Structure formats: C-alpha cells, structure tokens
Chains A and B, each alone.
Chain A
Amino acid sequence: ETGVTQSPTHLIKTRGQQVTLRCSSQSGHNTVSWYQQALGQGPQFIFQYYREEENGRGNFPPRFSGLQFPNYSSELNVNALELDDSALYLCASSPRPGNSSDEQFFGPGTRLTVL
C-alpha cells in the first residue's frame, strides 16, 4: 500500500448536488495532485496543490475546486454535479513538486456515481 488514503470509497449523488472528496497524503509529502478517471480511460489531471496553494490546473471548469490544509491533506469539491462527472477520482501525493514520478504515490480513489 502507498500510504495515501482517500474517502469515501464510493459515493452516489444526483445531478445538481455538490460533493467533497478527501485525500490524506503520505507522511512527509507536501504536494497533492487530483485526477479524474472515467471508466475505460486514463486519468485526467485536474489540479495540484503545493503547500496549501494551487500549483497548476488542467482543463476542468471552475466548479471543480480544491483545498489543501496545513497537514497537507486535501479536498476536491465539485459543485453542480453533472452525469459526466461520474468517474474514479484519484489523488497522488509527492514530497515536493520536482521532476521525478517515482516518488509520487496514488491513492485507491473514490468512485463517484452521479444519477
């Protein structure tokens, strides 16, 4: 196991609702990245947080927002849920923004279903 945990494991929401997903980074890691993985596809980068500040964002609308806390855990918030938001949401933690992925570890993901 990687030491990166996510909650909840599964979640079912209806269109228009809001959702908050949580990620606890591995001890010593101050950087968290979030990804959306639709069924049968590769993960898509949403955004990254480094020391409580957003440090880059992918091609996702503003209704996808995040937070990082002083203990470096992180939240992903999605407002006005749409059916296409149904996916596995992955977070990955790393000791710093750098240039090597062998120190970045993914959590098991939260499976979100929007009805």
Chain B
Amino acid sequence: GESVGLHLPTLSVQEGDNSIINCAYSNSASDYFIWYKQESGKGPQFIIDIRSNMDKRQGQRVTVLLNKTVKHLSLQIAATQPGDSAVYFCAENLGDSWGKLQFGAGTQVVVTP
C-alpha cells in the first residue's frame, strides 16, 4: 500500500548547525503534509504544515520544502539547539477531514554540543 516514510533513522547535528530531515511519500493524491516533533514521554507536537499547492513554507527557525515531482518532503531547522533533540515525523492527511493522519517511521535528531 501507499505510505509515508523517512530516509534516515538517526541524524546527529552539532549545536548551531542547520538540520535537514527528509521524508518520501508515495501517495500522489496527498494534498496536505505535516511535520511533528515528539520528545520522550510526550505526544507529537505540531511544528509546521504545507499544502500541495505550495513548495515552501517557513516558520520560526523551521522551513518545510515540498517537491511533488519526486514526492519528497523535507524539514530544515536553522541553528539547531539542544532542545531540538527529539524524534521528528512527517505525516499526511488521510481522508476527507483532517485528524486522520498517516505518519512515517520517524527520524531521531541528536544535537551534540
């Protein structure tokens, strides 16, 4: 079946550097994508979203890029901080109403001093 998945299971980043987390999706009909951050012992926390009619969206220190041609999504974190250490998931909206999300497997980001 079609699914959302991630390329790298673990990403080690030095504090202050930029992080890039990648995600490949296979459902060409998907029109809404979200990035979540999950810290240990907590539920996923919304970071940023993007609709399929856009190819870039920026937030505070984060940028999401969408390449529909190759079905690729990425999250860029600028000036990575120790508090950014977490598991990051991309997700796509499954159905006609939101809240029904299909998540990828996740990438563990480890920020080193």
Contact = CB atoms under 8 A, between A and B. Distances in A.
Instruction: State yes or no: do A and B come from one complex.
Output: yes
B54 to A, nearest CB: 14
Interface in A33-61: 33, 35, 40-45, 48, 50, 55-56, 58
Interface in B68-113: 89, 91, 93-95, 97-106
A42 B99 contact: no
| Contact count band on B | 20 to 34
Contacts of A109: 42-43
B50 to A, nearest CB: 11
Contact of B97 (A41, A42, A55, A107): A55
Contacts of B34: 101
Nearest to B5: A42
23 contacts: A2-B43, A2-B45, A31-B99, A41-B106, A43-B44, A44-B103, A45-B94, A48-B97, A48-B100, A92-B43, A92-B99, A97-B97, A97-B98, A101-B46, A101-B91, A101-B93, A101-B99, A102-B46, A104-B99, A105-B46, A106-B44, A109-B42, A109-B43
State the 5 A-B residue pairs at the shortest beta-carbon distance, nearest first: A106-B43, A42-B103, A97-B97, A33-B99, A101-B34
Interface of B: 4, 32, 34, 41-46, 49, 89, 91, 93-95, 97-106
Interface of A: 2, 4, 31, 33, 35, 40-45, 48, 50, 55-56, 58, 90, 92, 94, 97-102, 104-109
